[in-house]
A = this chain, B = another copy of it.
Amino acid sequence: MNDNYLSAANTGANNLSPHSQLNTYSSSLSSSSATASLSHGAANSMKSQMTGPSEAGISRSPSTSNRETQKKKIGHREVKDGVVHYKKISTDELKKSIQFGIVHFLSEQNRTQMDRDLLMQDFQIVETVQFPKTGSPTTPAHDYSDFKLKVYAPYGFRYLRRKFNVNEVDFMSALGDSELKEVSNPGASGSVFYKTSNDKYILKTVQYQECEFLKTLLAGYTLNLLQNLINQKFSLLPTIYGLYCYQKYELASFLSDRTNIRIVIMNNILPSDVPIHEKYDLKGSSHKRKASKEERAKSNPTFKDLDFLEEHPNGLMLDEKNYDNIIGSIKRDCLILESFGIMDYSLLLGIHNLEKERNNTAIEAYYEARINNPAYNNPSVNSNGSMSASNRYSISTGRSIENAFNISAVPAKNSKGDRLLLYFGIIDILQSYRFKKKLEHTLKSMITDG
């Protein structure tokens, strides 16, 4: 079997490097140890029934909804009378409450919090704000149920957003100015996904254990980010912009059950202004890595490793510099993921095929610029100590994209010679806890069965 998904090759007119197969994607993504490879296999066998989008890289248009599928209760997500509920709270109430609470919190933070150095202790802090329906001296009235908002590491995430070059006003505007779009295609986890109307940010519900796990990651994640900034290197890890917990509560009763809904805000790996023709969830393993029939029936299916090898038996060709950048990023990212015992992650790959949109001159120009100008591949640290966005351009507008921290579109070719733009990102890193739990359960059942 051909494991070489990506290979360095001569795709650019100005690039005279020989057509050499330098390395394989899968040998970098999989750990070199046999144990870790085995783990990937185990993870795959458990995930093989899973369908739907991963935690990032939401399909651009909602897929044709199937009434019967939507009626099912998956995890905490349930459809009642055509309305999606999460932990028995209607999606409308949930998304409007969190929009209201988060934007209020952020604008207060902007008003009062001075920029300063980040401290280790910032990751431990949790702030709670009460939002009674009737309003309070510090919070405005609203039309939803009384709720509390817990804000995890408020200064820590504010610092991270600055380093990711996210403008706070733009961020609040994206979150609060228009309705969040629910992605109607739920993952197997029963999580609810929302996208901001500008397609930049994803809000996803996470379980208690995922939330706790993320909190333990934050310091190492930041250490990694700062090193990338100093070394002017990219990361394919998810960019995480905030972690919150919505709590519905009744003022009248101290005994009432509190509903905790934890929300993480992340980047959207796939672009909003470039059509994606193929989408893959890759693990560097071949065991049961084929998209299900249900997934294939969707309008924007997410394919898997075996589908990729069938579609691209000779892999994709990148020029040497882009290839080295991607492989270098994957190696660095895997080092930190491994150090936290994270095994059950995927590489999301979105492919735009330029030959399928021949009349789009903006994308053509972008492709040529990326191929001919190696400077596009060198991010620079600007005077604020954040990644400079000056090298990235939004294809549709020509303006710079503020949130384009991760490697933006990478030019490539398939074996037919079609020009491609590739979008990469590592996803599903928070499911390690769930994975470990499942593995434990599986091992226990094996012992019992034997």
Say whether, besides A219-B219, A231-B385, A385-B231, A332 and B117 are in contact (CB < 8 Å).
yes
Say whether, besides A226-B227, A229-B230, A339 and B220 are in contact (CB < 8 Å).
no
| Size category of the binding interface on chain A | 20 to 34
For window 223-242 of A, CB contacts with B under 8 Å fall at: 223-224, 226-227, 229-231
Say whether, besides A219-B219, A231-B385, A385-B231, A119 and B226 are in contact (CB < 8 Å).
no
Q: A121 to chain B: which residues have CB within 8 Å?
A: 220, 339
- CA A117 – CA B330 in complex, angstroms? 13
- Whether the pair A116, B339 counts as a contact (CB closer than 8 A) is no
Closest beta carbon of chain B to A160's beta carbon, Å: 13
- CA A118 – CA B230 in complex, angstroms? 12
Asked if A120 is at the interface of the complex by the 8 Å CB criterion, the answer is yes
Asked if A336 is at the interface of the complex by the 8 Å CB criterion, the answer is yes
Asked if A222 is at the interface of the complex by the 8 Å CB criterion, the answer is yes
Partner of A381, one of B222, B230, B336: B230
Interface hub of A219, A226, A339 (most chain B Cβ within 10 A): A226
Asked if A335 is at the interface of the complex by the 8 Å CB criterion, the answer is yes
Partner of A224, one of B117, B229, B332, B339: B117
For window 3-29 of A, CB contacts with B under 8 Å fall at: none
Closest beta carbon of chain B to A127's beta carbon, Å: 17
- CA A118 – CA B229 in complex, angstroms? 13
- Whether the pair A117, B219 counts as a contact (CB closer than 8 A) is no
- Whether the pair A223, B119 counts as a contact (CB closer than 8 A) is yes
Q: A224 to chain B: which residues have CB within 8 Å?
A: 117
Partner of A230, one of B119, B219, B223, B226: B226
Closest beta carbon of chain B to A165's beta carbon, Å: 13
- CA A117 – CA B339 in complex, angstroms? 11
- CA A219 – CA B218 in complex, angstroms? 12
Closest beta carbon of chain B to A282's beta carbon, Å: 23
For window 214-268 of A, CB contacts with B under 8 Å fall at: 219-220, 222-224, 226-227, 229-231
Closest beta carbon of chain B to A237's beta carbon, Å: 12
- CA A322 – CA B230 in complex, angstroms? 25
For window 107-149 of A, CB contacts with B under 8 Å fall at: 116-121
Interface hub of A117, A222, A339 (most chain B Cβ within 10 A): A117
- CA A194 – CA B338 in complex, angstroms? 40
Q: A385 to chain B: which residues have CB within 8 Å?
A: 227, 230-231
Residue of B nearest to A159 (CB): B227
Q: A222 to chain B: which residues have CB within 8 Å?
A: 223
- Whether the pair A223, B220 counts as a contact (CB closer than 8 A) is no
Contact with B along A74-97 (1 / 0, CB 8 A): 000000000000000000000000
Q: A381 to chain B: which residues have CB within 8 Å?
A: 230
- Whether the pair A116, B335 counts as a contact (CB closer than 8 A) is yes
- CA A220 – CA B381 in complex, angstroms? 22
Q: Mark A residues whose CB is within 8 Å of B.
A: 116-121, 219-220, 222-224, 226-227, 229-231, 332, 335-336, 339, 381, 385
- For this complex, 23 residue pairs linking A to B, each with C-beta atoms less than 8 Å apart, are A116-B335, A117-B227, A117-B332, A117-B335, A117-B336, A118-B223, A118-B227, A119-B220, A119-B223, A119-B335, A119-B336, A119-B339, A120-B219, A120-B220, A120-B223, A120-B339, A121-B220, A121-B339, A219-B223, A226-B230, A227-B385, A229-B230, A230-B230
Q: Please list the 3 inter-chain residue pairs (A to B) with the smallest Cβ-Cβ separation, ordered nearest first.
A: A120-B220, A230-B385, A226-B226
